[in-house]
A and B are shown apart, each in its own frame.
Chain A
Amino acid sequence: MRKAVGRRRTLSPNAAARLPRAADTDGRQRCYEGTLDSAPVITLDGVTKTYAKARRPALDDVSVSVEKGEFVFFIGPSGSGKSTFIRLLLKEESPTRGRVAVAGKDLATIRSWKVPQLRRSIGCVFQDFRLLPNKTAAENVGFALEVIGKTKPVIRRVVPEVFTLVGLEGKENRMPHELSGGEQQRVAIARAFVNRPLVLLADEPTGNLDPDTSVEIMRLLDRINRTGTTVIMATHDSNIVNQMRRRVVELDRGRIIRDQARGVYG
């Protein structure tokens, strides 16, 4: 089903959700069947990033692309470049060489005052949850809507929906310190997802969680991925990677040494 050519180049998530979904045999789920914009969600093209005073580059001539709807693990030891990769996508850093593109747009062409707009289309989840400590769980999630100018009625409607999605109904008015680690991470995921971003970046989301809770979080991320959101997860949790059998991109000292469709941790 193709939407008529007009100002929009992609289908709205609501429309896309009504599309029939097809699972490819190689394990990738492509959910936006009729989109006109077929650019990959993330593209790195010969990207090198060397920090000042560093002896070797954090990322060394990395080329990789992630399509819409994919679920990709970025694995590797500490210092392999996973966090740098995420920072480049958020434009917290700029590459020393090469091209980083999100939804086909070269990040180098984005002016500094437009960077907030870029970040709104990327949901981000971290190991330390990064919730505002003096706001309730609902306020934390609502904050992401507030900063893009959504009105109170909209926020009051949308926030409970997303709390249901992440399985935290009834906990909207708890403060972060009153929630367990897993619950806090769910709130963080809810906040990252509430604006229906293009891609959800997760930087070691299970790093501070016990194995059982980690599995719960992964199931949530999988559910989110099924709605058509691209999920990119940096981790060194081998169990999870082995269980889920998704595309695995392995980094070592800034270089990609493996890019496998249904990979294991190795």
Chain B
Amino acid sequence: MRAKFVLTEAATGLWRNVTMTVAMILTTAISLALLGAGGLLYVQVEKVKELLFLKVEVTIFLDEGVTEDQRDKLKTELEGDDLVQSVEYESREAAYKRFQELFKDSPDLVNNVKPEALPESFRVKLKDPRRFEAMNQRYSDSDGVDKVSNQQQLVGKMFKVIDAIKTTTFVVALIQGVAALLLIANTIQVAAYSRRREVGIMKLVGASNWYVRLPFVLEAAVAGLIGATLAWISLILAKFFLLDGALDPIFDSGIIPRIPWSYIFATGPLLGLFAVLIAGTAGWLTLRFYVKV
């Protein structure tokens, strides 16, 4: 088996049907770009959710001038409360540290917030998160308590919007992905048909199935790889112009931590590998079951 032979066959094949190849690559690129974007969004949101959302259900913010007695009394009450699963005390310093960690990619935000701005609090996990109202009633008027806040309320709506965006991105990526796969299947069929004479002779002479199929599978894989590269470039451009440009204020406000460059760079090889495997497999399946090469 000569590597040069099969690679030149793949390249010639792609060039012979340039229009189809371009269509195949573009749809793959769009699908993968959306997949990558959706994936990055998903990772960021999960990070924030994990830190904010799941870790703490109810936050009881304490007054600035809360006394030691009040604090202790509250703690005992909370620990004995049948609605409460666990109680965790967070001092001002601890709160500030956590804030710094969470928004470390938004240095402007961090620099504008002083440690004193963050109050001390009890982070309370409820056995049943829906019983917030009861907690609110019980503790909001207690001594030393500034506010009982349900973080779910605060960020819930916003997360709903972000989730919707994320789901839409994935759905569109999926639809584009199906389109890309169908285009790959079609291109392979056309390629196999236009080379049916050579394929026939190869089979006659006793070339093994994979030897005959390999150039076509490679065509699909190479097209997938080019598509993945385009997708990667588009993500980089999006980060540069969009995320760090027009959408920068969103990250500055601190709702979502910034997506770091390292994530964007890591997405590239992942998309590439994914594209090569899926495209190659699609090509092979088309040959095996549809074209019967």
Contacts and interface: CB of A to CB of B under 8 A. Distances in A.
Given A146-B2, A147-B211, A132 B198 contact: yes
Interface size class of A (residues with CB under 8 A): 20 to 34
A116 interface: yes
> Most chain-A CB neighbours within 10 Å: which of B1, B202, B206?
B206
A21 interface: no
B205 interface: yes
A198 interface: no
A120 interface: yes
A204 to B, nearest CB: 15
Nearest to A143: B205
Interface residues of B, number: 16
Contacts of A117: 206, 208
Contacts of B47: none
B201 interface: yes
Interface in A118-156: 118-121, 124, 130-133, 143-144, 146-149
B60 to A, nearest CB: 69
B204 A130 contact: yes
A191 interface: yes
B98 interface: no
A116 B198 contact: no
Contacts of B211: 147
A113 B206 CA distance: 11
B242 interface: no
Given A132-B198, A147-B211, A191 B1 contact: no
A130 B201 contact: yes
Contacts of B206: 116-121, 144, 147-148
> Most chain-A CB neighbours within 10 Å: which of B1, B200, B205?
B205
Contact of A116 (B2, B5, B201, B209): B209
Nearest to B1: A149
A146 B211 CA distance: 11
Nearest to B198: A132
A191 B205 contact: yes
Interface in B187-224: 197-198, 200-209, 211
B207 A147 contact: yes
A116 B1 contact: no
A60 B228 CA distance: 56
Interface string B211-255: 100000000000000000000000000000000000000000000
